[in-house]
Structure 1
Amino acid sequence: MIGKYKIAALCICRIQDRECFELIHELDGQLGNIGCRLFVYNCISRPDKNSSSAETAVFDLIDPSFCDVVIIQSDRFGNYDFCKALAQKYREMGLPVISLGENISDCINFEYRRGDGFADIVSHMVKYHGYTNIHMIAGVKGEYYSDERIMAFRNVLSENNIPFDDSMVSYGDYWSVPAIDAVKKLIKENRLPRAIVCANDQMAVAVTNYLQDQGISVPDDVAITGFDGIETIYSADPTVSSSGIYPLTNAKEICHAVNTIFSEGYAAKNIPLFPELIINESCGCKSEKHRMKFNSSASYNELMNKFYRFQDENIILSNVSERIQQCKSFADIADEMRKDDLMYAMTCVIKSECIDESVNPEEKIQMRFRNKMFVLYDSDDIDLKKSVGEKFIPYNMDGRDIIPNMNGFIGRCLIFTALSYLGVPMGYTCYHFSSYIPSNYYKIPQTVNMLNNALGGLRNLRHQHYLLNKVDEISRIDALTGLFNRHGFLIEYENILRGLGSNSLAVIMCDLDGLKAINDKYGHDNGDFAIKNTAQALKRVCPPNAACTRFGGDEIMAVFPCCGTENNIRGMLYKELDCVNERSGKPYKIAASVGIYITQNGEKPSFDELIRYSDKLMYEEKKRRKTLRTN
């Protein structure tokens, strides 16, 4: 529950399909009537047998801290085991689960009696019209729903004493071309029947159009029926008879089940829902015009708009993808995403590791979205800031907030889709459209796929840049001390000389005292300890702009433009080493001799000259310290 609203989470697959977004539209309206809001969690493609698909990470966003009921459109996923595991996970969280299509243990299961619905349309052809020479074009051979409809077909024939054999069934794979090929085969073999029942509407419309093109009248020569009740059956000539479950009917029944859970409590049960006959002209009847007033001109116009818009937006999104991968900052990415006004009413949230260039983009990180997330894009916030002359800056967010300004969008249906690249989940988008426009749903997979490629490609480029910098760093940095090696120092020294002008340089040379004795008595690990701590101590006492290098076994040097404190460095270093000795607990003391050389104003000695000057002073210091210890 969020505020005063209960939250229903709908897990779906392929939101871009009309039957999906029509159900969402109707369900959102029905749930709103009972004070409930709909959050939609969408997979663009059907998950395969590997339920760890990165796309399915979107379902990890559902949490009992705000969610009151989960609805799984299980018949859309085509993967019973995945839906069963999903339902079990939510039941273990204590959430009520409604399964649409598949019977899952401990759930409220909506049983879509499609087999019975298909039997009804076959019965209409056999009993009402009296067709006995009848053929079926099924879906995919061996597929569950296709076999279910074949069984319904056989049962109706049996009930009406019509003999059945396997030659009475062809397979059209639910698509136009295979269905037409099946009809061509029947014509070639001179077996064209009086009636054909198709396992879905798309095949029925395609077969109707093909037969008419061949001069074979539908329904006078061959009667045709489909199944599912999609909108296209009304644009065919003749209109195609079918059977289907209307989205509004479905939504009302689901809403009733949700309301019962809220008012009476949760109890697992099965709720049958039967498809309704849609009587049109292709079977030989008159069209049920009251069912739908179909405007073929408007439908054609919508189809053409969708087609051309898809092409235009694909080109624009491709350009956006290129521009994103060239951006130098995350704020620039947000600007590029908003520039063409395609990504409106949208928020994009990514995992914090996706902004860390040191993380390998191909590394299999945990699926669940962590507490620390990063708001990369928020179209509404960008527009608001732009209106007052400000720039949107992406920012960190607590993952438990899901999206920023959640309460501001609670009146809208929220649609979440995971972002992923190379099988690794990166984050998610959240759409919060203020009105129902079908084209908004069509473009969700377009936009998400673009962001997957753009952000995935950008992560790759950033990681490659990071690796190149690391290689460069390795070539310049001494592994033991973290100071420059000779190669790195020479590069940095050149930078110092270029900015030196007429100033003088301070050259500090440091050499450990008694390193050989430490190595001999306590081992080289302790010798390395002494070198490292001396190097770090020198770096700490030098100014930030100093170039510090280890260029020999225990020889350490620092060079920097004179700043007035160089003559204090010897004493400061000795104090630092005293502190190291106090903390280390080692049985030996780390000591060092320090030589300091100040160049003349504007003098720019070579590297070898630096070493020669400071070496001389350092060995004088060693001799002085040795004399002090002797005395």
Structure 2
Amino acid sequence: MFISDTAKYKIIGICTSCVQSDYVRDIVSSISRKGVKEGYKVLLFNTFCDLYHNISYNHGEASIFDLINYDILDVLIIMPEAIKRDSISNEISKRAHEHGVPVICVDSTMDNCCSVTFNYSDVFEKIVRHVIEFHGCRRVNFIAGVKGNTFSEERIEAYKKVLAENGIEFEPERLGYGDFWDMPTKGVLEKFLESSLEFPQAIICANDAMAIAACSILRERGIKVPEDVIVTGFDGIELEQYNSPRLTTAAVDNDVLGEKIINAIDHMMNGVPLPEKIEVSYTMRISQSCGCKKIDPREVGDKILELYHRMNNSDGHEQHMFSYLAKSVECHTVEEMAKVMARSGDYYSWVCTNTDFLSNTRQRERFNNSFTKQMRVFMQTFDNKYKTGEVFDTKDLLPDMEQVLGRHNCLMFSPLHFQDEVIGYAANSYSPIYFLFQNTRRFINNTNQIMESFKNRQRLERANAELARIHMLDPMTGIYNRGAFTRT
């Protein structure tokens, strides 16, 4: 809990990666939205790529988790499936427990943590039953994910189970592996089309990405969905909204997810221990691709228009970032750079650097740490104003943190680094209802390059100035030489 002389705030920390993706964004937004409603402040620590590969760049990304001040957290939520590196997730959890902070693990299981798990199998079985028992399909093909993958194998077993219970013989040729994405799905569809077996009445897919690819390939072949063949998906990804026909699929109810997590946290704050497990079920969404709902041309038009506006917004922001890069090259002072940065980032944002950022040597205290004990505000923007230069303790995360929390409910912290050399971090206020994390990602990626270039220019200018100074001094006496008097 954050406690000062005049304020007290309940704090939820969230550690994740790839918040710009549909899946992670929806979960983070749900938790943030419900948390804010119940009076919590949310601190999100995010990397914009997963940390699966053990490379220098990812070491720099992971530095953001070293920033966490566990002393002000009431609970920490970790998303290991998004981070994709168990050693990092386990280290975060270990540090939290050392500080007495309870941990909630979403979509995975970790030792000594409350695990939030999703019940996939029951709902997937309902989709298969809907196709076979409600629509009466007897020739049902299945496109699975990666062979041997736990989720994929569970869905294959559900498919086989429902076939058997309805007296339908399993035919191996009606099963293919699309590896959860579109290109392998194309190969599977071609095998189905070339098979000597009678063409299927339905194609059940283990996720939406493969179902969308299947619909597209079938359309190219002149085969209509759902008139000629039923297609179903699973996962409820955002792209499904723009597919025609809309998929019969299943998705987690993120409102329920956020509500269950915040309810558990509320109970914990009132003295009830966190449960070992919180289960969230997927919900089946019956739609157009099985024929239960008619395709409305107006809906298709609305979605196309919405997609156009999103693409237009993305293109506009990309042009804005090009301008940011161009203007940054002309900056020679921190003040000039901060001014350009303030006009290019989010409305309320901070860029904080290690205090040794522009020095020629790394401070000794940072030999084994990502950050110096104090940080310097390179740029802070607020109410169409900006400032630079303020130094504050790193454990405070931001200068005037009490005032910041009083004004903002949700803050995201992202790493600034060049490969594994940590520059500092960026922070911004975000809305739990609507926020373009993709735009923030572009800004951060550009800022990483800009800050490294700015540092190198500063060092080069200092080196040139020192070289010029040396050339104007007599090496024996240290006084100005003839060249110096000539220049003056």
List per-residue Cα deviations over 1:473-502 (Å, max 9, x = no partner).
Answer: 8x769xxxxx9524x958645425766xxx
Match runs of 1:109-128 below 5 Å: 109-128=115-134
Q: Does 1:400 align with 2:390?
A: no
Question: Structure 2, unaligned stretches of length 5 or more?
Answer: none
Shift of 1:463: 3.7
Question: Structure 1, unaligned stretches of length 5 or more?
Answer: 386-391, 478-482, 500-631
**Counterpart among 244, 249, 252 of residue 242 in structure 1:** 249
Q: Which has the higher contact order (CA 8 A, sep 6+)?
A: 2
Instruction: Give the partner amino acid of 1:420.
Output: H
2:458 aligns with 462
List per-residue Cα deviations over 1:80-121 (Å, max 9, x = no partner).
Answer: 443333323322221111111111111000111223332332
Task: Give the Cα separation in 2 of the matches to 1:46 and 1:406.
Answer: 29
Q: Evaluate the alpha carbon distance shift between residue 182 and residue 114 of structure 1 in structure 2; reply closer, same or farther with a 3 A threshold.
A: same
Match runs of 1:481-560 below 5 Å: 485-486=475-476, 489=478, 492-496=481-485
Q: Evaluate the alpha carbon distance shift between residue 284 and residue 343 of structure 1 in structure 2; reply closer, same or farther with a 3 A threshold.
A: closer
Instruction: Give the partner amino acid of 2:370.
Output: R
How many residue pairs match? The answer is 476
Shift of 1:256: 1.2
Task: Give the Cα separation in 1 of the matches to 2:354 and 2:166.
Answer: 61
1:409 aligns with 404
2:303 aligns with 299
Shift of 1:373: 0.5
Q: Does 1:337 align with 2:333?
A: no
Higher-Rg member (1/2): 1
Q: Evaluate the alpha carbon distance shift between residue 102 and residue 207 of structure 1 in structure 2; reply closer, same or farther with a 3 A threshold.
A: same
Task: Give the Cα separation in 2 of the matches to 1:299 and 1:489.
Answer: 74
Q: Does 1:87 align with 2:93?
A: yes
Secondary structure (helix, strand or coil) at the match of 1:256 reads: helix
Q: Evaluate the alpha carbon distance shift between residue 59 and residue 492 of structure 1 in structure 2; reply closer, same or farther with a 3 A threshold.
A: same
Q: Evaluate the alpha carbon distance shift between residue 166 and residue 53 of structure 1 in structure 2; reply closer, same or farther with a 3 A threshold.
A: farther
Task: Give the Cα separation in 2 of the matches to 1:147 and 1:493.
Answer: 83
Shift of 1:245: 0.4
Q: Does 1:104 align with 2:110?
A: yes
Task: Give the Cα separation in 1 of the matches to 2:126 and 2:86.
Answer: 26
1:146 aligns with 152
Q: Does 1:448 align with 2:438?
A: no
Task: Give the Cα separation in 2 of the matches to 1:33 and 1:310.
Answer: 30
Task: Give the Cα separation in 1 of the matches to 2:357 and 2:149.
Answer: 40
Moved more, 81-90 or 41-50: 81-90
Shift of 1:269: 0.5
Whether contact under 8 Å (2:33, 2:433) holds in the other structure is no
Whether contact under 8 Å (2:244, 2:300) holds in the other structure is no
Whether contact under 8 Å (1:13, 1:43) holds in the other structure is yes
Task: Give the Cα separation in 2 of the matches to 1:303 and 1:98.
Answer: 35
Task: Give the Cα separation in 2 of the matches to 1:159 and 1:365.
Answer: 64
Q: Does 1:261 align with 2:268?
A: yes
Shift of 1:287: 6.6
Secondary structure (helix, strand or coil) at the match of 1:353 reads: coil
2:426 aligns with 429
Quote the sequence identity (%).
24
Whether contact under 8 Å (1:325, 1:455) holds in the other structure is no
Q: Evaluate the alpha carbon distance shift between residue 169 and residue 57 of structure 1 in structure 2; reply closer, same or farther with a 3 A threshold.
A: farther
Q: Evaluate the alpha carbon distance shift between residue 242 and residue 337 of structure 1 in structure 2; reply closer, same or farther with a 3 A threshold.
A: same
1:206 aligns with 213
Moved more, 198-207 or 185-194: 185-194
Q: Does 1:219 align with 2:226?
A: yes
TM-score (norm 1): 0.68
Instruction: Give the partner amino acid of 2:438.
Output: Y
